[in-house]
Amino acid sequence: MRNLIYLVFGSFLFLASPSMGQSWEVYDFGGSLQTSATYQEIDILGESVITGKNAEGLFLLSPDLRPVVNLQGQEVFQYLKPWILVKGPKGIGAFHEYGQPALPLEYEEISTFTNRLLARKGTDYWIYEKSTGKTKWLGAAEEAKLTRNGQVILKNQGSYYLPLSSNPEKAYELLLENQGNFLLAKEASGFGLINQFGDYVLDPVLDQLEPTRGDNYFGFDENQYLLIRGFEASAQVRYNSYHKITKEGDLLLEFIHGKLRRVLEEEGILLDAVGMEEVKLIAPDAFNIRFRENKLGLLGKQGWLVAPNSDAEWIGIGSEGLFPALKHGNYGFVNSEGAWIIPPSFMEVGSFSEKVSSYRTGATWGTINVEGKILSEAKWEKITNFSGGLAIAISAGKHYLIYPSGELAYPEGLDQISKLKEGFYLVENNAKTGLLNSLGKLILPIAFDQIQVEQKDFFRVENEGLSGVMRANGNVFLPLNYSQVAIDWNEQKVFVKSQEEVVEKAEVNPTSATQGKRKKGV
């Protein structure tokens, strides 16, 4: 009932004398006008989360642009789903995206979690809980942090505290957040792990503890090395050894009687082999491993990518069954058995895509096929990987769209070419922008200030301060007549703002305000 009363009150505040604003129109994806309204600004923050500003204030709007909640501020400071942070004359406050007020507009800083807010004013901190709708003062502190698992860490006079735990007065020497869901804690007795409820899942008894990846940790206790995995109720030791384990970045190696014996992953053994002499991490989850007799292999997370039979000095991540490799200062390609398929005869090579790779013999690049046959001479400063039969090449500051043969797919060089995820090429020339399709054919002329590809057949365009919407066939969906265009994909609507100012006619039926109450999923 409290929320309902607030919504009605917010709508009454919208009633006022006429003032200047901008006319906004809303169209469906078929191009039909759905509704119109007068606001200075409208912002689409997220799915069905729309705000509008007029002379009477800032409002959360319904899909048909009716004011639902008065946000009581001057501007949306930040939208961090599901929270709308609003800025006013006295500071920052917060609303839930469904309209419920959370924090008044009087704080200097607000941090967000799914169901929790941490607010600061000076050196004082407050916590807001969505489940109860209540705000609690946490006290003064040197600093405070809302962690990724929803806990709050307070630091005061060199000690750390968990004010939301069952023991908020307990002091820690260190509380450290990491990429996982647990806090690394340190007390006089040692290191341990704390879960999202503030409880230990690993008692603070270890001499050393540091995160590796996710909820995994590398530790040392007295005379044994440990690989530990955190779980909500209790942490588990996944691997332990009394032999020396070293950690350099993401590389974990175990030595037995002083000799390299095992390559470890987060929770155990990745490779156990006799005769290893050197291991190098060349990419995430990819290792160059050299054995006796100078044989090299490439090890991945699931096993050997290249068997340790190669006489190469380095093997890189490959594609399409071929891996770039180095020998005596030159590059070629080996297969998964370590055999040379393309001899090391290039100064540098790229990686294969669509059975084409780039190569360099001097300062410039050309293309080769999977048999090492030269497809195009080396005349480009750079060549990207091929995709859809085309690649982007650069020469003398100009960008070109080329085929594997080196022939041009688009007849001229341009200032910039960018491949978009939708398959189009966004091109620029002489400070103007155009659009090519996946085959390099011109869809939109190089005549716009900006083009935003919204979908495969839906382009937002701007030119000389005006915006419109065009389709892939060149047809105009909305002409270049608007000062702003915004799209709500969830409601499948296009919002456009006219150029001219109009007089706002703030006519609102107060009884309809309850109909605009936002519900989850609507």
Rounded to whole angstroms, what are the CA distances from 451 to 25, 448, 463, 486, 490? 21, 7, 9, 13, 21
Q: What is the pLDDT, as a whole number, of residue 64?
A: 84
Q: Is the peptide bond before 82 cis (omega within 30 degrees of 0)?
A: yes
Residue showing tokens 């005349």:
379
Phi, psi angle pair for 6, to nearest 5°: -65, -40
Phi, psi angle pair for 493, to nearest 5°: -135, 150
Q: What is the pLDDT of residues 42-86, one digit of tens each?
A: 998 988 899 999 989 999 999 888 999 999 999 999 999 999 999
**Alpha carbon distance 194, 181 (integer Å):** 9
Q: Is the pLDDT of residue 226 over 50?
A: yes
- Sorted by where each begins, the domain ranges of the chain are 145-272
Q: Where are the beta strands (DSSP E) in 73-123?
A: 75-80, 83-88, 91-96, 101-107, 109-113, 116-121
**Alpha carbon distance 205, 217 (integer Å):** 14
**Alpha carbon distance 70, 76 (integer Å):** 12
The mean pLDDT value of the chain amounts to: 90
Structural Rg of the chain based on CA atoms = 31
8: DSSP letter: H
**Alpha carbon distance 518, 383 (integer Å):** 51
**Alpha carbon distance 86, 100 (integer Å):** 13
**To which H or E segment does residue 315 belong?**
strand 314-315
Q: What is the pLDDT of residues 299-347, one digit of tens each?
A: 999 999 999 999 999 999 999 999 999 999 999 999 999 999 999 999 9
Nearest to 488 by CA among 46, 39, 42, 38: 46
Q: What is the pLDDT, as a whole number, of residue 61?
A: 93
Nearest to 279 by CA among 250, 240, 302: 250
**Alpha carbon distance 177, 182 (integer Å):** 7
Q: Where are the beta strands (DSSP E) in 316-390?
A: 323-327, 330-334, 340-346, 348-349, 356-360, 365-369, 374-380, 382-383
- Tokens at residue 219, please? 């530790």
Q: What is the pLDDT of residues 110-119, one digit of tens each?
A: 999 999 999 9
Residue range 181-198: mean pLDDT, rounded: 97
Phi, psi angle pair for 292, to nearest 5°: -60, 160
> Which residue did the predictor score with more confidence, 471 or 204?
204
Bridge partners, 436 (sequence order): 425, 442
* pTM given for the model: 0.82
pLDDT band (50, 70, 90) for residue 219: very high
**Is 72:105 a contact under the CB 8 Å cutoff?**
yes
Q: What percent of the chain has pLDDT over 90?
A: 80
